Structure 1
Amino acid sequence: MTRPPSRKATSQDVADLAGVSRSAVSLVLNGRGDGNIAPDKQAAIRAAAAQLEYEPNPSAVSLRSSRTRTLGMVTDAIASTAYGGDLLRGASEAAARSGHLLVLVDTHYEQQREADAYRTLRGRRVDGLLFAAMSLREYAVPAAAAGVPFALANCYDPASPQVPAFVADEVAGGRAAARLLLEAGHRDIVLLAGAREAVASTLREDGVRAELTAAGCLLRTVETGWDISDGVAAATAVLSGPGRPTGLVCANDRVAVGAVLAANRLGLDVPGDLSVVGYDDDAALAAPMVPALTTIALPHRQIGEAAVARVLSDLTGATEARTTGRATGHGTVLVPCPVVVRDSVAPPRQPTGRAGGSPSR
């Protein structure tokens, strides 16, 4: 169909081009198509809207629905750090696809600022709220979240299991990291674990240990920090001592970079003499590293998308499947951690000659 170039496209134009009713166009473009409109019709409506460059009038939509088409996201420190970009990108794009604006407030871990953020967002009549954490942790759901759709991203509240929470499946990620080395033929494996007070560190260690135990191997664990210097120090001690391992699983990619530097200083080749697995898939480190790091990615983008999708689903009463990962039987959904294979893992040059690894400690 054609229309005068001076006239903006209307929802009726979109309906005519897509071969559907005007009400179907409204449902799909207002984020209520799932469960009401067939997927192929939804695709046709979006394609027609894109072709005609149709944009719903936000004010008219708000007046009709008594909604503001905005979501509020409170974070502890994500917006002010380099590591939270993927989560925010996933959340904001998921909101935009449904015609919503995501309003972000970073609180810098200040309780008063957090309370003010919730009060301000509720005062602006946001349609839904989210809280996102920089690092996986417990988080007490505030009273200010009552009465609107609410979800947690990268955190969870054990006292409020009914509240939807989307977090990385860290135990499965740890198992995957160990499996990379086991499948390459390694049996002497050491975990350079992050600080034990971090929830993610403990869960990853649980996963590594479970995978090695299932393979008949024992695990040596060395607690370290999260930075390159921590990896250098821990790996130097492990690689200089007796019973040098052939494989390292590292707390994160920074520790893995430190481990590679330590190996190089000791005259060891990675991955010829030592295989190294990182964690996070840090864009600034993992791929540019020489050798490029094999690692476990954190699904921050998927977590942000899933949390926003759940809020929108609760807002519209949609009945589509709401999980993006493995549900735990209550509000928490474990989002898979992708395996990223690069160059830092290879079969050991010499077989260890033992059925199991070194004693656990």
Structure 2
Amino acid sequence: MTTMKEIAQATGVSVSTVSLVVNGRDQGRVKPDIAKRVRAEAKKIGYRPNPLARSLRTSHTRIIGFVSEEVATTPYAGGIIMGAQDAAARLGYMLITVSTDGVAEEEREFAALKRYGVDGFLYAKMYNQLADVPPVLRQLPVVVANGIERTGMVPSIAPDEYGIGYNATKRLINAGCQRIAYIGDQDPILAQGLRFKGYQSALGDAGITADPKLVANVGFNQEAMDAVEAMIEAGNPDGFFCFNDSRSWYVYQAAARRGLTIGRDWSLVGVDNHRVFAETLAPRLTTIELPHYEMGYWAACKLVSMIEHKDESPALHTQTRAPLPSLQAPRPALIHCQLIEKDSVR
């Protein structure tokens, strides 16, 4: 196993100097040319820091606890875990993931993670909502992913739900639609209210008067299909913004019953870029993608910056589908959601 002593001998510097460089603490302490030479030698001979030894020196285990509420079992939201894991790995941390269901189970999982000596917690929600971080987690650095921490005291990252509604509606307006329907969620969740406000604002900015007959907030199954049919008959829409991809299915069915074609006779934008609907609907559905991977990536970078008391993390600059906000963004940090152009908008 390669040691710092070998690097010191090869470069003609002290072991303490090598330690500063390989542990990223050389700035202002080691001359840049020396640090560069040490890093080159470490890379050449394949040096890897011993995480156990480093944790004993620094009192940090470089382990992050990822606590989720059914996120691990949700197909597309699982991207949050992937993003967090990728960022943690780039920063030299390991991620331990637990999925909880209920207060008692949460407390057991929190206790187990604390026994591992985690340096901080990522607290992820299944969908964007106001989140109450359990007091036991606040004893260490914590960041909320895919939710907005209620008090504003804990950093959190969430999709820009208002922007989703605004951009989806604007895309339909740019396609020439004048009577744009909104098919929303009947439950008063956070995303429903914000996406509807974005829809209304885009109409207003384009000089289009919002028509209540063009709004249907629905659940699922036949009752929802009937409500969408009634809205179409009363409002005569030429474009549709749907709260999510699954509700877009009702519009496809309604078009088929009338002998109309999505993307030609009616234009439609959904939300989620859900794999099942993306692969089965024809013509393919234009949709807005929720940035699960990016939220997990940002949350892990933010958490590490808190653990290490740094303002920015070099790992923040990575190739992602949506641009990441600054780690110093106001709370909550909101992340832009990309519109994925396909075939359902004329």
- Per the shorter chain, which TM-score range? 0.7 to 0.9
Q: With the length of structure 1 as denominator, give the TM-score of the two structures.
A: 0.80
Partner of 1:222: 216
Residue 57 of structure 2 aligns with an amino acid whose one-letter code is R
1:296 has 2:288 as partner:
yes
Partner of 1:257: 249
CA displacement at 1:13 relative to structure 2: 7.6
Give SS of 2:133's match: coil
The structure with more helix, counted as a fraction of residues = 2
Distance in 2 between residues matched to 1:293 and 1:345, nearest whole Å = 8
Partner of 1:209: 200
What number of residue pairs does the alignment pair up? 329
Q: Pick from 187, 193, 204: which aligns with 2:178?
A: 187
CA displacement at 1:53 relative to structure 2: 5.0
Partner of 1:275: 267
Partner of 2:22: 26
Distance in 1 between residues matched to 2:40 and 2:240, nearest whole Å = 49
Q: Decide whether the 8 Å contact of 1:165 with 1:333 is kept in 2.
A: yes
Q: Residues 141 and 155 from structure 1, CA distance in 2 versus in 1: closer, same or farther, beyond 3 angstroms?
A: same
Distance in 1 between residues matched to 2:253 and 2:123, nearest whole Å = 37
Q: Decide whether the 8 Å contact of 2:165 with 2:196 is kept in 1.
A: yes
Partner of 1:352: none
Residue 171 of structure 2 aligns with an amino acid whose one-letter code is L
Distance in 2 between residues matched to 1:179 and 1:339, nearest whole Å = 11
CA displacement at 1:22 relative to structure 2: 3.0
1:127 has 2:119 as partner:
yes
Q: Residues 210 and 58 from structure 1, CA distance in 2 versus in 1: closer, same or farther, beyond 3 angstroms?
A: same
Give SS of 1:286's match: helix
Q: Pick from 85, 96, 113: which aligns with 2:105?
A: 113
Q: Decide whether the 8 Å contact of 1:281 with 1:295 is kept in 2.
A: yes
Give SS of 2:281's match: coil
Q: Pick from 49, 63, 88: which aligns with 2:81?
A: 88
Q: Decide whether the 8 Å contact of 1:34 with 1:320 is kept in 2.
A: no
Q: Decide whether the 8 Å contact of 1:76 with 1:134 is kept in 2.
A: yes
Q: Decide whether the 8 Å contact of 1:141 with 1:157 is kept in 2.
A: yes
Q: Decide whether the 8 Å contact of 1:175 with 1:210 is kept in 2.
A: yes
Give SS of 1:163's match: coil
CA displacement at 1:265 relative to structure 2: 2.3
Q: Decide whether the 8 Å contact of 2:69 with 2:124 is kept in 1.
A: yes
Q: With the length of structure 2 as denominator, give the TM-score of the two structures.
A: 0.83
Partner of 2:301: 309
Q: Decide whether the 8 Å contact of 1:162 with 1:330 is kept in 2.
A: no
Over the matched positions of the two proteins, sequence identity in percent amounts to 32
Residue 307 of structure 1 aligns with an amino acid whose one-letter code is A
Q: What's the CA shift string for 1:32-75, capped at 9, x where partnerless?
A: 799999xxx99999998777654332212212221111111111
Question: Is 324-333 or 143-152 further displaced after alignment?
Answer: 324-333
Partner of 2:62: 69
Q: Residues 283 and 270 from structure 1, CA distance in 2 versus in 1: closer, same or farther, beyond 3 angstroms?
A: same
Q: Decide whether the 8 Å contact of 1:287 with 1:293 is kept in 2.
A: no
Q: Which runs of 5+ in 1 are unaligned?
A: 1-7, 347-361
Partner of 2:91: 98
CA displacement at 1:326 relative to structure 2: 7.7
Q: Decide whether the 8 Å contact of 1:231 with 1:256 is kept in 2.
A: no
Q: What's the CA shift string for 1:180-201, capped at 9, x where partnerless?
A: 1011111100000112322111
Give SS of 1:84's match: coil
Q: Decide whether the 8 Å contact of 1:156 with 1:165 is kept in 2.
A: yes
Residue 160 of structure 2 aligns with an amino acid whose one-letter code is D
Q: Residues 292 and 210 from structure 1, CA distance in 2 versus in 1: closer, same or farther, beyond 3 angstroms?
A: same
Question: Is 327-336 or 175-184 further displaced after alignment?
Answer: 327-336
Distance in 2 between residues matched to 1:91 and 1:102, nearest whole Å = 8
Q: What's the CA shift string for 1:238-287, capped at 9, x where partnerless?
A: 33x14411100001011113321321122111111101100011123225
1:284 has 2:276 as partner:
yes
CA displacement at 1:330 relative to structure 2: 4.6
